[in-house]
Amino acid sequence: MKKLRSALKTKFRNSIKIVGLGKYLPEKVLTNFDLEKMVDTSDEWITTRTGIKERRIAEGESASDLGTKASLIALKRAGLKPQDIELIIVATVTPDYQFPSTACCIQKNLGAKKAVSLDIGGACAGYVYALSLAWALVGGGFYKNALLVGSEVLSTITDWSDRSTCILFGDGAGASVVVPAKSEAGMLSSYLGGDGNFGDFLILPAGGSRLPASKDTVKNRLHYIKMQGNEVFKIAVRVMVECAQKALKKCGLRSEDADLLIPHQANLRIIRAVAKRLNLEDKVFVNIHKYGNMSSASSAVGLCEAYEEGRIKKGDIVVLDAFGGGLVWGACVIKWI
| Domain end residue (candidates: 183, 198, 215) | 183
DSSP for 47-89? HHHH---EEEE-SS--HHHHHHHHHHHHHHHHT--GGG--EEE
Q: Please check whether residues 44 and 70 belong to one and the same domain.
A: yes
List, in order, residues 6 or more apart from 145 with CB less than 8 Å away: 80, 84, 85, 86, 87, 138, 177, 178, 179
Q: What is the rounded CA–CA span in Å between residue 37 and residue 182?
A: 55
Q: Please check whether residues 7 and 146 belong to one and the same domain.
A: yes
Q: Please check whether residues 140 and 278 belong to one and the same domain.
A: no
Q: What is the mean pLDDT of residues 12-27?
A: 91
Q: Please check whether residues 263 and 135 belong to one and the same domain.
A: no
Q: Band of the pLDDT at 15, cuts 50, 70, 90?
A: very high
Q: Band of the pLDDT at 111, cuts 50, 70, 90?
A: very high
Q: What is the per-residue pLDDT across 209-249, written as a single tens digit (0 to 9) for each?
A: 999 999 999 999 999 999 998 899 989 999 999 999 999 99
Q: What is the per-residue pLDDT across 157-188, written as a single tens digit (0 to 9) for each?
A: 999 999 999 999 999 999 999 999 987 789 99
Q: Please check whether residues 173 and 50 belong to one and the same domain.
A: yes
Q: Which structural domain, as residue segments, surrounds residue 241?
A: 187-335
Q: Please check whether residues 40 and 114 belong to one and the same domain.
A: yes
* Residue 300: CATH number of its domain: 3.40.47.10
Beta bridge partners of 293: 169
What is the pLDDT at residue 12?
46
Q: What is the mean pLDDT of residues 122-133?
A: 97
Decide if pLDDT at 7 tops 50: no
Q: What is the mean pLDDT of residues 24-51?
A: 98
Q: Please check whether residues 85 and 212 belong to one and the same domain.
A: no
Q: What is the mean pLDDT of residues 97-108?
A: 97
| Domain end residue (candidates: 183, 199, 234) | 183
Q: Please check whether residues 191 and 160 belong to one and the same domain.
A: no
Q: Band of the pLDDT at 203, cuts 50, 70, 90?
A: very high
H-state helical runs in the chain: 2-11, 32-36, 43-50, 63-78, 102-110, 126-139, 215-219, 229-250, 268-277, 288-291, 296-308
Q: Please check whether residues 191 and 174 belong to one and the same domain.
A: no
The pTM of this model reads 0.94
Q: Please check whether residues 212 and 101 belong to one and the same domain.
A: no
Q: Please check whether residues 93 and 148 belong to one and the same domain.
A: yes
CB-based contact 170:55 (threshold 8 Å) = yes
Q: Active-site residue numbers? A: 124, 264, 293
Q: What is the mean pLDDT of residues 72-79?
A: 98
Q: What is the per-residue pLDDT across 252-301, written as a single tens digit (0 to 9) for each?
A: 999 999 999 999 999 999 999 999 999 999 999 999 999 999 999 999 99
Decide if pLDDT at 8 tops 90: no
Q: What is the rounded CA–CA span in Å between residue 176 and residue 173?
A: 11
Burial class (CB in 10 A: 0-12, 13-18, 19+), 57: buried
Looking at the 3D structure of the chain, how many domains does it have? 2
Other Cβ atoms within 10 Å of 43 Cβ, number: 16
Q: Please check whether residues 12 and 33 belong to one and the same domain.
A: yes
Decide if pLDDT at 3 tops 60: no
Q: What percent of the chain has pLDDT over 70?
A: 96
| Domain end residue (candidates: 162, 183, 204) | 183
Q: What is the per-residue pLDDT across 296-318, written as a single tens digit (0 to 9) for each?
A: 999 999 999 999 999 999 999 99
Q: Band of the pLDDT at 9, cuts 50, 70, 90?
A: very low
Burial class (CB in 10 A: 0-12, 13-18, 19+), 88: buried
What is the pLDDT at residue 13?
60
